[in-house]
Structure 1
């Protein structure tokens, strides 16, 4: 630990490391926001409510759920709407199952 202008090398490295981690998180958020825009621009809201049977008040929540899926991300980034619709259908089934209240 050699002091460098009043701050140790360890302190500088820790500061850089925290900043890098924060920037990585911000980049991930930005990527997800871009994916959400792609979904909004490429798919009509009726597709989600009528075709996939997602309740209207849960469509946006479904989008947030869906952008966590690597296959959907790849399809959207490749502009492969056919594959995206296939993945959306699978994800909708899972999403709706999760939304069901537990009954015992």
Structure 2
């Protein structure tokens, strides 16, 4: 199991009016869901095992936002898939995305 912090420090960022009202966990969840969607679109869909991992990530993040927790736990292979999506999806850089990537990069492989 990998433990991932889903709270991002947004005080240095200039957020839009709607984003400024969101919890850091919601922002994190929205970015992750966007990246997963972008990855799926880029490869014209996902195979069954990847879809299952997307559902697991989405369910875990939704529960975390509802419960306002600061960290989530993902199975090693699911976390590996999340990393793969961030690595391989073609994304437009922005400061919010960078903060999420930094959180993901802090998780050790072993």
TM-score normalised to structure 1 length: 0.34
Structure number with higher relative contact order (C-alpha < 8 Å, ≥ 6 residues apart):
2
Q: In terms of Rg, which structure is larger? A: 1
TM-score normalised to structure 2 length: 0.32
Query: Larger % of helix: which?
Result: 1
